[in-house]
Amino acid sequence: MTNIPRPDTTRLQNMARAYTQTAVLWAAIDLGLFTAVSQGATDEDAVAEACGVSRLDAERLVVCCLTLDLLRVENGKLVNPPDVERFMVKGQRGYAGPWMTFTRRDVPKWFEISELMTNGPEPGLLGMYEDLTVDRARKYHEATYSIGMGAGRRFVRTVDLSGRKRMLDLGGGSGAYSINVVQAHEDMTAVVFDLPPVVEVTREFLEENGVGDRVDTVGGDFTSDPLPEDCDVVVMASNLPIYDADVIAGVVARAHDALRPGGEMHLVGEMLADDRTAPADAAMWGMNELLYAGMGRAHTIAECIGYFEGAGFTDVGVTEFVPGTLERVHGVKAV
Ligand SMILES: C[S@@+](CC[C@H](N)C(=O)[O-])C[C@H]1O[C@@H](n2cnc3c(N)ncnc32)[C@H](O)[C@@H]1O
């Protein structure tokens, strides 16, 4: 007799229907379920009324959410778990609905990836950014802003920028990191470098946050255009899997050369553990590039450290940025 458990199909069946979880989360966001519960719709009749659905559909939705720990029952009343209450209730500072539904247009393509692999278009360097318009950039960065401001606040809390003067925010998008940095450090200014259609939108976010006079924007392609040379900090956040190893190594090297001596660089992104067994999200962002014929892939932490060392950075290290999700590789340019 052996004690090795006999495999069953449970894990595989759950994975085969994992898309149902996405669908339920998005339906709950679309219908304003979590906002309604937060505002006092604490039973299924009230949910039906607040969300404009039948009593039967309210029950279906609530039951799905209870099993996914998207809702709980406390003292006989429906409540939101803490993360749902903080990030899924409209009107809260942390509301991240646009980010959580940001990938909706990708769904059909995800279910065609075998076809794209065997019969898809030739990949190009810029992938989904190839024909970006200002309108599309605005929609895209409404979503990144709703999650990026939290990341920017975390950056400011966890990275000591005392004595620093000016930050280059490479692929800065909404400018979320720059906004937080200049708000937290009154002596600092910043420059967001992003594609030309994006920086038009960046300016709107900067004005909205009252930092338009302290954060500049430069439109360009960071893989080939000259980078500003007056900065002592570079941050490059959440654009790692968009490119392959050669391109990222090249951008890190060009950022190193553009930095002032003694300056520092931070690469924040989804990175694989060196044995490539986790986290799945980093792998999936690499796969996402297939959908838009990009050349990007998931990078390991060791690879990212290698890009920094290859560029000439010293004191290279890695720090967990958001546990299980984002790493921060950092280094210093020699004086
Ligand atoms: C997922 S967003 C991240 C935005 C921001 N760093 C944040 O964390 O909120 C990726 C950004 O990288 C920019 N980007 C991608 N490729 C670029 C390139 N070749 N040159 C300049 N910007 C680029 C995109 O336009 C987009 O704004």
Which DSSP string corresponds to 9-58? SHHHHHHHTTHHHHHHHHHHHHHTHHHHHHTT--SHHHHHHHHT--HHHH
Predicted local confidence at residue 205, as pLDDT: 98
Q: What is the mean pLDDT of the chain?
A: 96
Q: Is 298 in the pocket of ligand 1 (CB under 6 A)?
A: no
Residues found in the chain: 335
User: Atom 15 (ligand 1): residue with closest C-alpha?
Assistant: 171
Predicted local confidence at residue 186, as pLDDT: 97
pLDDT tens figures, 26-73 = 999 999 999 999 999 999 999 999 999 999 999 999 999 999 999 999
d(C-alpha 302, C-alpha 327), whole Å: 11
Q: Is 202 in the pocket of ligand 1 (CB under 6 A)?
A: no
Q: Is 237 in the pocket of ligand 1 (CB under 6 A)?
A: yes
Predicted local confidence at residue 1, as pLDDT: 60
Would you kindly state where each structural domain of the chain is located, as residue ranges?
10-87, 107-332
Tell me how far CA of residue 129 lies from CA of 69, 140, 178, 296, in angstroms: 36, 11, 22, 12
pLDDT tens figures, 290-310 = 999 999 999 999 999 999 999
CB-based contacts of 160, cutoff 8 Å, min separation 6: none
Which DSSP state fits 242?
G
Q: What is the third-level CATH fold of 10-87? A: Arc Repressor Mutant, subunit A (1.10.10)
d(C-alpha 316, C-alpha 332), whole Å: 7
Which of 126, 239, 240 for mutating ligand 1's site (highest number of atoms within 8 Å of CB)? 239
Predicted local confidence at residue 40, as pLDDT: 98
Predicted local confidence at residue 173, as pLDDT: 98
Predicted local confidence at residue 3, as pLDDT: 84
CATH architecture of 107-332: 3-Layer(aba) Sandwich (3.40)
Q: Is 176 in the pocket of ligand 1 (CB under 6 A)?
A: yes
When pLDDT is cut at 50, 70 and 90, the band that residue 112 belongs to is very high
Q: Is 198 in the pocket of ligand 1 (CB under 6 A)?
A: yes
Tell me how far CA of residue 1 lies from CA of 5, 7, 8, in angstroms: 11, 16, 18
